Amino acid sequence: MKPVVLHSVNPYLFRTGSWVYGQVSKLRRWKPVVVATKRENMDEFPLDDVHAWVDLPAPQRWFERTLKSLNGGYFPFMVRVARSSGAKLLHSHFAGKGWKDLPLARASGLPHVSSFYGADIWVNARSEKWRARFAQLFERGDLFLVEGGAMKAKVVSLGCPPEKVLVQHLGVDLGAVAFRERRAPEDGLVRVLICGRATAKKGHELGIRAFARARRDNSKLRLSAMLLAVDDEQRSEVARLQQLVRELGLEDCVDFPPPLPYSAWRKSLERYHIFLAPSLHAPDGDAEGGAPVALIDMSAQGIPIAASSHCDLPEVVPHDVGGLVFPEGDEAAAAATLLEMAGRPQDWPRWGRDGRAHVEAQYDADRQAAALERIYDRFA
């Protein structure tokens, strides 16, 4: 019988949570069981054992919420799931969930692993309240997983013992990603893509301004900004960027394709030649943490990448392996890098092959799931 790992994430699963799904669904020697408050997008991220508070009858939900306010902060049904499933380990996703799950770990008696992903560390590090919570989490948690070296250094700087932090790369399902070398287009139009949530850390404004600079020297450049907005603030950001495009006179060469489900989004990438990843530290302190999973997807597909030196992006795209790296926040350097890559179509196939090989070695979902299971073996 497989040992069970209890995954705690809320909701299961948010629309952009493909990297969490990869960690859960790719396990082979361990059986994943999920506990959450809410469930959503089950068609996109199917899993058999998902137990959500929202599924309980209304009287039981009220009773569970009342007990949670009295017992130190955990839903009793989650402890019951842990015990009935025979869970050997609790894995919390995001720092906030890790801290909230400390009472659950105590009540269930399970070793506790937490994964950090970005804003949960970088933004919260500015909060005195959260620094105190980090101290509790680092003292009582058993292990903390991060996406790369930059994120590990940040977590250690907040007071976590280095021996409690491990770099565990995220992975993508390479079997579902069709690789294709990019070649010079017959019509001469070089199609550039930026994508991601409409948040400041993605550097979309810098990317659009850098594209505008580059296009002064290469009128064959085209840009698609595929932005995901899940709330009013992000929708307002999309509108602001669309206005910026109009102000820069780029309406004829910049479009804003609608966001797509993950599988359809992957298919849509086939038409692009270069991916621009201008991520940077946002004014509120937000950062990528490690690197966006979209970056891994692009290299897996064979798309050359122009990436900033932000956080762990160069760990996914080492310079001249999969693409080129420019200094974070440097609009002129981003434009120059974009121009250089657009002008070197003879190197696109090499960057595509090298990027794919790097992803296969370091970010393959099956390999990373096996590595995660070895971590579970060690701490269960």
Per residue in 114-164, pLDDT (tens digit) is 999 988 999 999 999 999 999 999 999 999 999 999 999 999 999 999 999
Same domain, 157 and 182: no
Distance CA 317, CA 341 (A): 14
Query: Which pLDDT score, from 0 to 100, does residue 293 have?
Result: 87
> Within this chain, do residues 54 and 130 fall inside the same structural domain, yes or no?
yes
- The residue among 231, 243, 355 whose CA lies nearest residue 305 is 355
Number of domains in the chain: 2
- Mean pLDDT within 20-40: 96
Largest CA distance in the chain: 67
22: domain CATH number is: 3.40.50.2000
Give residue 145's identity as a one-letter amino acid code. L
Beta strands in the chain (DSSP E): 4-8, 31-36, 50-52, 87-93, 112-115, 143-146, 165-167, 190-197, 221-228, 254-255, 274-277, 305-308, 323-326
Query: What pLDDT score was predicted for residue 15?
Result: 85
Q: What pLDDT, in 10s, does the model give residues 225-242?
A: 999 998 999 999 999 999
Q: How many other C-beta atoms lie within 10 A of the C-beta of residue 123? A: 17
What pLDDT shows up at residue 3? 98
Same domain, 33 and 107: yes
Mean pLDDT of 345-366: 97
Among 95, 339, 137, 47, residue whose Cα is nearest residue 219: 339
Residues 60, 22: Cα–Cα separation, whole Å: 32
Tokens of 30: 């361990």
Mean pLDDT over 94-104 rounds to 98
pLDDT band, residue 295 (cuts 50/70/90): very high
Residues 162 and 82 in one domain: yes
Q: For residues 156 and 228, state if they share a domain.
A: no
Spatial contact of 8 and 141, defined as CB atoms under 8 Å apart: no
One domain, residues 183 and 291:
yes
Task: Name 195's bridge partners.
Answer: 226
Considering only CA atoms, which of 292, 325, 295, 332 is closest in space to residue 307? 325
DSSP assigned state of 164: G
Task: Please give the DSSP secondary-structure letter assigned to residue 312.
Answer: T
Quickly tell me which residue has 């121009």 as its tokens.
339
HSE value, Cβ hemisphere, 13 Å, CA-based, for 215:
23
pLDDT at 262 over 80: no
For residues 101 and 92, is the Cβ–Cβ distance under 8 A?
A: yes
Of the two residues 141 and 289, the one the predictor is more confident about is 141
Residue 99 and residue 48 share a domain: yes
CB 36 within 8 A of CB 14: no
Residue 195 lies in domain:
174-362
Distance of CA 249 to the CA centre of its chain: 32
Residue 127 shares a structural domain with residue 73? yes
Burial of 267 (0-12, 13-18, 19+ CB in 10 A): exposed
What local confidence, expressed as pLDDT, does residue 176 receive? 86
Q: Supply the pLDDT for residue 267.
A: 86
Residues 222 and 333 in one domain: yes
Give the three-state DSSP class for 252.
coil
Question: What pTM was computed for the model?
Answer: 0.89
pLDDT confidence bin for 264, thresholds 50/70/90: confident
* Claim to verify: residue 291 and residue 375 sit in the same structural domain: no
Contact 142, 113 (CB under 8 A): yes
| Residue 230 one-letter amino acid | V
| 160 and 180 both lie in a single domain | no
**Whether residue 146 sits in one domain with residue 16:** yes
pLDDT tens-place string over residues 313-344: 999 999 999 999 999 999 999 999 999 999 99
- Phi/psi at 166 (5° precision): -125, 140
Closest CA to 266 of 172, 134, 151: 172
The pLDDT assigned to 275 comes to: 98
Give the per-residue pLDDT at 263.
79
Percent of the chain that is helix, strand, coil (3-state, to 5): 50, 15, 35
Structure confidence at residue 140 (pLDDT): 98
pLDDT, residue 93, reads 98
Q: Which two tokens stand for residue 68?
A: 């949670």
**pLDDT of 348 over the 80 cut:** yes
- Token pair, residue 328, equals 């974070």
pLDDT, averaged across the chain: 95
Structure tokens at 303: 């798309």
Other Cβ atoms less than 10 A from the Cβ of 245: the count is 19
| 8-state DSSP, 62 | H
